[in-house]
Amino acid sequence: MSKALDVLETALTETNLRKLLAIPNYSVHRFVAEAINLCKPMKVFICNDTKMDTEYIRRTAIARGEETPLANPYHTVHFDGLHDQARDKESTIYLVPEGENLGEQLTQMNREKGLKIVQTRLDGSMDNKKMVVRFFCLGPLDSPFSIPVVQITDSFYVAHSEDLLYRRGYEYFRRLADDKEIFWMLHSSGKLIHSVSTDWKKRGVMIDYKENTVYSMNTQYAGNTIGLKKLALRLAIRKADRESWLAEHMFLMAVHGPSQRRTYFTGAFPSGCGKTSTSMVRGNTIVGDDLTYLKIIDGKVRAANVERGIFGIIRSITQKDDPVIWDVLHSNQPTIFSNVLITEDETPRWLDDGNEPPSGGINYSGEWFPGKIDKNGEEIPYAHNNARYTIGLEGLANLDDALDDLRGVEVGGIIYGGRDTNTWVPVQQSFDWTHGVVTMGASLESETTFATLGPSGVRKFQPFSNLDFISIPLGKYIQNHLDFGNNVKHTPCIFSVNYFLKDKEGNYISDKLDKMVWLKWMEQRVHGDVNAIKTPTGYIPIYEDLRELFKCHLDKEYSRNEYNSQFTIRIPELLEKIDRIESIYRRTVPDTPRIFFDVLIEQRSRLLETQHDLGKYLLPSAFG
């Protein structure tokens, strides 16, 4: 203790030292002292979550140029560097102790070698900069879901963003038990020019899961730097593995059914696939849009939102399609926009916002004008495809009152969805828990989007919409899901959805608003209010039930032709999918549970038999 205290007494002012030592946990003191020794900041600021401290962080983010004020005094904009606009999967590396292997899906490195790289890149990285130390809690405070997190960063934008996104935890840390497991996050933006990280070629995220520590270097994009988001998810998955619960990349929402009934659903969708928009569907209420912990409490599956805000993709948000988010973005609720365009009158614009394209402004490339091209001769759009907004949930008109329920909410259904142009129907229900885990969760595929670096539109294997974040061998992760369902008497129903199915001409055959009907149908299925048609891959809706739901909730006449087009069972494509999935698991996941292959083989047999008897492309009426 004396060594850490010596460092802290030297580096901290009396006020900041007093704030830190009010937290009586020696591990916290040691982590801060070690970060100071490594990063060598000019000054250290300890945030105690008072209004004065949190306002100081916001003001400093503006003063340093990390954020710029907009016409609305509650709004700011942040620009990431041209090469730092999305999560960098390739440079996110697990530090694996000698003798361990996490599987081929994960980029990994020998732990000792990786820690040497961390030491080299972070050594002196905060020279002439101020270090910010913040304390947060993942999940509701003082609940079975709570995980305390320490975030150290030299970016006031990161510290400000987390203030909107997470539950402040300074007072929680002051009463923290000495043996409570803590997640540790250390981030440095590295060398900056005009408040932008310039050493992006040395960008990296190193995950030392042995010590529950994540190091983030030479980057500012929030997905690489906000430790409590997907970085902490990787640590939480390992913790969940040890403790027999699930840490998931899922929204959490209440679908409102008949007689004021609320049924809670979680949903896993890769980024850019309708996850946030589903959780925000009109007439329902949201608990969270991105990260959920699921635990068995009193014999029931219960879930809590890890966060208290949204870091959402802003592209295509319009007043017509997304009225709740639109209203918040045009209100006085604190908001950080990132990588949008700022017009001359200091208002933000984003792609597909429902207005005429702007004539000029400032974006991530500097001064922007129509026809501006980059060094490769490619036209620069006025806002980035992956432009974002950061807000707290408290301003949402549809916020569910269970956000901070200490016991979470009981889960009625789990939804898996991705970008799939030719295979899955818009909505279907699995036969049971095991069938859903295998054929919907573990077999999820999705076309890539702009939310990660690399080409878009490529079909990728995305089990549970969590592949980028799974920090244990994939086969073990699947087995954990199977075991989790076996430990409760009544498991949640499992569904798949597909908003991106196309016809032969390449046109989408579902409307953006149709997801409301799919949600209402799933809610009724959870309670056994409607019957369904059994197909070789699961249960699909009956036409008359959907027609009634479309009329009731969208005031839309839903035709038999639309139904037949959307719910045609495409057997050749379904068989090809099974072949792809089975091949991936047999080649790359040696610890895949045997039951996984058994379920796929049974599904293939049903499809082949149906194809032999009835044909390749079947209308719902073919199944009775």
Q: Which residues are catalytic?
A: 273
Query: Which strand (E) or helix (H) includes residue 286?
Result: strand 285-288
- Rounded-to-integer distance, Cα 481 and Cα 473, Å: 13
Q: Order the strands of the 75-78 sheet from edge to edge.
A: 68-69, 75-78, 335-338, 388-392, 309-313
Spatial separation of the C-alpha atoms in residues 38 and 119, rounded to whole Å? 7
Contact 421, 502 (CB under 8 A): yes
Using left for φ > 0, alpha for ψ between -120 and 50, and beta otherwise, residue 49 falls in: left
Kindly compute the dihedral angle of the four CA atoms of residues 272, 273, 277, 278, in this order, to the nearest 10 degrees. Answer: -150
Q: And the tokens for 416?
A: 């898996």
269 contacts 502 by C-beta, under 8 angstroms: no
In the DSSP assignment, the letter for residue 450 is: T
3-state helix, strand, coil in the chain (%, to 5): 35, 25, 40
Q: Which of 469, 472, 424 is nearest to 444 (CA)?
A: 424
> Which DSSP letter does residue 558 get?
-
Angle, CA 502 vertex, CA 572 and CA 596 arms, to 5°: 45
Distance CA 381, CA 161 (A): 25
Strands 183-188 and 213-217: parallel
Phi first, then psi: what are they for 571, rounded to 5°?
A: -65, -45
Cα-Cα-Cα-Cα torsion 433, 436, 438, 440, nearest 10 degrees, comes to: -160
C-beta neighbour count of 395 within 10 angstroms? 18
C-alpha count within 13 angstroms, C-beta hemisphere, residue 157: 31
